[in-house]
Amino acid sequence: MELSWFKKGTIYQIYPRSFNDSNNDGIGDLRGIIEKLDYLQGLHVDILWLSPIFCSPNDDNGYDISDYCAIMPEFGTMEDFDELLQKTHDRGMRLILDLVANHCSDEHLWFKEAKKSKDNSFRNYFHWRKPAADGGPPNNWKSFFGGSAWEYDSTSGEYYLHLFTKKQPDLNWENPKVREEIYDAMRFWLDKGVDGFRMDVIPLISKRDGYPDAPDVGFRKIIEDVYANGPRLHEYLREMNEKVVSHYDAFSLAEGVGINHNNAGLYINCDRKELNMLYHFDVLECTIVNGKFEEDSPFDLVNLKSIFKRWRDAVHEKGWLANAMGNHDFARMISRFGDDKQYWSASAKMLLIMQSTQNGTLNLYQGDEIGMTNIVLESVGEIKDVQSLNFYNENLETKRYPKELALEMINKEGRDNARTPVQWNDEINGGFSIANPWLKVNPNYLDINVKKQDKDPDSILNFYRGLLKIRKEHDVFVYGDFEEIEFNNPNMYIYNKMLGNDKITVILNFGSSVIYYKSSGEIDKSTILVNNYETLSVENDTMRLQPYQGVVLKMN
Ligand code: TEU
Ligand code: CA
């Protein structure tokens, strides 16, 4: 296994709009990030991933780009960016950007031109099709954010494809000029010294020939079989690596939408020279059956273990995964997998013990280090996310659910949960901004905030700092071979990790009851390296684990 900085490093995702507002206009910005670099360094994270910072009309908060080589004015200037990059590097950290290559904004020059006429030289940058016989969309594809994936353009009488909102037209990767445009944009940032890219919905860039109708199966299956993994995908990824990424000391992290453990190797096996790592959706969607705001299933620990296991087996020795339990597209990690009330602190810490001892690069999301929780939006007026808004409005038409229930579903699964401003202190708006923030601050900022936790040695924040440092000092956390113990135990997650002469045992109580665990004598031969409680009580080899208690034992 080849060792590399991006394998051992911890990735910390920043959603710039919500991170820190330096000029008090209610919107987070680049200078706001610069102000917090010491904080991030002190957290012992290594690689900052910024969600998109490029010019955008913000229909989907920057995931609709109108200029790939310019900074969104709300976020600052190119000078601010250069300073941010320099100061990140000065602190020994790296910076990666979010590359949205599947689609751009309908306000991008390319699309504005393409729309002008059928013979415009940019026309072929996008997917245009004639209407079906009845005048409707060319096929039955649905957008990820509701409604048809095709939008009618009255100027030309044709439809264009948009797998996301209608303001996010899909780029036509068959056109070599499109590929060169994207590669040029990548080189622009790499030449500045950027350390790589997180690649938004990269599995979707190659479309199926003839745009065949999707079968009547769940949306997840449609994504896998119809939208993602298209016929020329791997050719494009190899080209992108060969022409661009491989020329730099940089790495690529794929968003694994539509990738499963069977085809993952095609993307990330080292010998294929395509992408360096991916984060998959199986953990992130482990309680979501088919798609958001549809049926969901209760959290099941054995299922979680089997997801981790099958992915470990799938990439064993050949590829590399990033390990995410939350991001800007999902509800808060602690509200989903832990207990955001009574055992808030213990469960947040336990989840980090689990995440930091799994194989792969640790991928954290802003605010999880202080245990930020889901938000309750009181009315439709407070919803900001386009996916939730579309769901709400579509539901008003179809009357599928009562309005109150629709709002409840949004509060449970909606993306705004993870996007509320970071809670820095107990002052106005949690110290994010003195202006009214673009999305409401979680009122629990009075209790949950960085300033309070900074001083408290038992806080979640200080636990993160300690554990991330320990992880850096112990290669076994990252590269160790995994040995599962009591796999079918529904309340505990127990495993060994081994590397050379080093061995650790991880013992996690995944619930709110006290559990007794009889160890096979490990405890006498080991020291406690990590513990999210002050003590670990053991009697005759039987441990008494508190609610959500987690320990890492290091064999002497
Ligand atoms: O997300 C892709 C994606 O699959 C999401 O639609 C995800 O399934 C959904 O949010 C979960 O409910 C990426 C970005 O991370 C997301 O923020 C963008 O909206 C999307 O691409 C379009 O660029
Ligand atoms: Ca600002």
Q: How far is the CA of 376 from the centre of ligand 2 (A)?
A: 24
The pLDDT value recorded for residue 540 is 87
Per the annotation, the verdict on 382 as an active-site residue is no
CA-wise closest residue to 145 among 164, 161, 159: 164
Strand partners of residue 100: 200
The pLDDT value recorded for residue 3 is 63
How many residues are recorded in the chain?
556
Tokens of 519: 């160890």
Matching residue, tokens 């979640």: 460
**Which residues have a Cβ under 8 Å from the Cβ of 276 and sit 6 or more positions away?**
6, 196, 251, 252, 253, 268, 320
Matching residue, tokens 């820095």: 424
Q: Which of 21, 74, 80, 200 is catalytic?
A: 200
Q: In Å, how far are 23, 421, 426, 533 from 435, measured between CA atoms?
A: 9, 12, 15, 39
Q: Which amino acid is at 485?
A: I
Q: Cβ distance 197 to 256 under 8 Å? A: no
The pLDDT value recorded for residue 316 is 85
> From first to last of its 556 residues, what are the pLDDT tens digits of the chain?
566 888 999 999 999 999 999 999 999 999 999 999 999 999 999 999 999 999 999 999 999 999 999 999 999 999 999 999 999 999 999 999 999 999 999 999 999 999 999 999 999 999 999 999 999 999 999 999 999 999 999 999 999 999 999 999 999 999 999 999 999 999 999 999 999 999 999 999 999 999 999 999 999 999 999 999 999 999 999 999 999 999 999 999 999 999 999 999 999 999 999 999 999 999 999 998 877 888 788 999 999 999 999 999 999 888 999 999 999 999 999 999 999 999 999 999 999 999 999 999 999 999 999 999 999 999 999 999 999 999 999 999 999 999 999 999 999 999 999 999 999 999 999 999 999 999 999 999 999 999 999 999 999 999 999 999 999 999 999 999 999 999 999 999 999 999 999 999 999 999 999 999 998 777 888 999 999 999 999 998 899 999 999 999 999 9
Atom 17 of ligand 1, residue of closest alpha carbon: 329
Q: Which of 106, 195, 255, 416 is catalytic?
A: 255
The pLDDT value recorded for residue 293 is 87
**Which residues have a Cβ under 8 Å from the Cβ of 67 and sit 6 or more positions away?**
54, 55, 108, 109
Atom 9 of ligand 1, residue of closest alpha carbon: 329
Q: Which atom of ligand 1 is nearest to the CA of 100?
A: 23
DSSP 396-432: HHH--S-HHHHHHHHHHH-THHHHSPP--SSSGGGGS
CA-wise closest residue to 322 among 351, 363, 373: 363
Residues with CB under 6 A from ligand 1: 60, 63, 100, 144, 164, 200-201, 255, 257, 292, 328-329, 387, 415
155, exposed or middle or buried, with CB in 10 Å at 0-12, 13-18, 19+?
exposed
The pLDDT value recorded for residue 456 is 98
Read off φ and ψ for residue 270, nearest 5 degrees: -55, -40
Q: What is the spatial distance between Cα 507 and Cα 253, in angstroms, rounded to a whole number?
A: 30
Q: Cβ distance 193 to 187 under 8 Å? A: no
Matching residue, tokens 């960016």: 81
CA-wise closest residue to 56 among 41, 44, 40, 74: 74
Q: Cβ distance 309 to 352 under 8 Å? A: no
CB atoms within 10 A of CB 505: 22
| pLDDT 10s digits, 379-419 | 999 999 999 999 999 999 999 999 999 999 999 999 999 99
Q: Which atom of ligand 1 is nearest to the CA of 413?
A: 12
Per the annotation, the verdict on 413 as an active-site residue is no
Q: In Å, how far are 271, 274, 359, 505 from 483, measured between CA atoms?
A: 26, 30, 12, 9
CA-wise closest residue to 106 among 175, 146, 70, 57: 57
Atom 14 of ligand 1, residue of closest alpha carbon: 200
Dihedral in degrees, nearest 10, Cα atoms 118, 124, 127, 129 = 30
The pLDDT value recorded for residue 2 is 62
Complete edge-to-edge strand list for the sheet that includes strand 47-50: 277-279, 251-255, 196-200, 94-100, 47-50, 11-14, 361-365, 322-324
Q: In Å, how far are 9, 257, 290, 292 from 217, measured between CA atoms?
A: 39, 17, 9, 15
The pLDDT value recorded for residue 523 is 80
Atom 5 of ligand 1, residue of closest alpha carbon: 329
Mutation choice for ligand 1 from 329, 336, 391, CB with most ligand atoms inside 8 A? 329
| pLDDT 10s digits, 26-62 | 999 999 999 999 999 999 999 999 999 999 999 999 9
Q: How far is the CA of 446 from the centre of ligand 2 (A)?
A: 22
